[in-house]
Amino acid sequence: MGKKPIIAISHLGCEKNRIDTEHMLGLLVSAGYEVDANEELADYVIVNTCSFIEAARAESVRTLVELAEDNKKIVITGCMAQHFQAELLEELPEAVAVVGTGDYHKIVDVITRAEAGERVKEVSAEPTYLADETVPRYRTTPEPFAYLRVAEGCDYRCSFCIIPHLRGNQRSRPIESIVAEAEQLASQGVQEIILISQITTNYGLDLYGRCVLAELLRAMGKVDVPWIRIHYAYPTGLTPQVIAAIKETPNVLPYLDLPLQHSHPEILRMMNRPWQAGVNDRILENIKTALPEAVVRTSFIVGFPGETEEHFDHLWQFVQRHEFDHVGVFTFSPEEGTPAAHLSNQVAQETMEERRDALMRLQQPISLQKNQAEVGKIVNVLIEQENPQTGEFIGRSPRFAPEVDGLVYVQGQASIGEIVPVLVTGADVYDLYGEVASD
């Protein structure tokens, strides 16, 4: 029997995509394939693509073209493979396979078929697959933290979003399955687990007939992991039961990632999120009352078709009023296959960028003030890396989620993977600075 080919994986896109990558790695390693980070040495390069917005697609295309120019055998997986399967095979003769978002678990079979000379198209029209704790997984995140997918797909139909078309309807994992995987991660030394899905506050609706995020959080409270963080909440899903579970479960961080997208009722209606307009202010006030220590991150889209100066001013005042801890701002991207792509009154790119920059300028002093309020406090910091030149450690406090928020730069003695008390001595708009607190 001949030697198996060497495989590299190029990961693009979000953390949901990352978990798909980690499962493909795990399946390939379990099947005896050598996986190498160096694409130069690889016989096959799997590119796990993103197709969420134009910039992500452009990055995916650049990566594919570069690999094609290097004469690599390319396996295209992920959202772009689901979205543009026929076009990719036509435009890239170097692509030996395209694999859809609901088919990545077939990766070993796909490589076997490609090795036999077949040009493989493995793309289910309606993705239904959902990995559980029994599927091999090779983590690619820094050792101290891991993402844990509680559900896949989405039942909402926001007019700007292609994800339900690419990922299918929501399908939740049983609580027992999630807890079992969390315990596996804990046994590997993971200190922080981040619960993710398309809309995590809708967790369980399809499986149990109701949203059961509160029950999941309380079950996760029994797992021996110091920090549990929730990403992708939806304001209507932050019920009193969920807020109480966050408050009463010691290892669940009071950190809420709420992608609100806009504040003006008319824009939210055109986004097909009309029910959100009536609850944004009320939910945010409820959070401040019930969870005064809560850290709130949100993201907004500016330049949605038809957004006027009046609409933008409403959003500007909304951000000013609520003083979020962290804000991300994106310009509208017309996605082929979504209703918003064909709306009239598209906003000029220059105007969108001006609005994005204005909103970020508004947010920066707010973020600075929030960070400066940490100076003088002793906070727990999860140490993730060390600067070999300076000996300085780098980590995150509960205020900061990985990859999207700031960092804490730490002087003193610490070890990677441990949570240490740090006296915060300085702050800027994004990051904190401190030293390991003495006993």
| Structural element, H or E, at residue 380 | strand 378-386
What is the rounded CA–CA span in Å between residue 417 and residue 384?
Answer: 6
Q: Is 211 annotated as a binding residue?
A: no
Token reading at 33: 């394939």
**412-435: string of b/e by CB count within 10 Å (b at 16+)?**
eebeebebbebbbeebebebbbbe
**C-alpha distances in angstroms, 34 versus 3, 31, 47, 95, 119?**
10, 9, 16, 20, 22
Residue pair 192/418 in contact (Cβ under 8 Å)? The answer is no
Q: Is 79 annotated as a binding residue?
A: yes
Amino acid at 74: I
From the list 17, 254, 297, the residue with the least C-alpha distance to 149 is: 17
Sign of the CA dihedral running 257, 261, 264, 267: negative
Residue 111 burial by CB count (10 A; 0-12/13-18/19+): exposed, middle or buried?
buried
Binding region for [4Fe-4S] cluster: 14, 50, 79, 154, 158, 161
Q: Binding site: residue ranges?
A: 14, 50, 79, 154, 158, 161
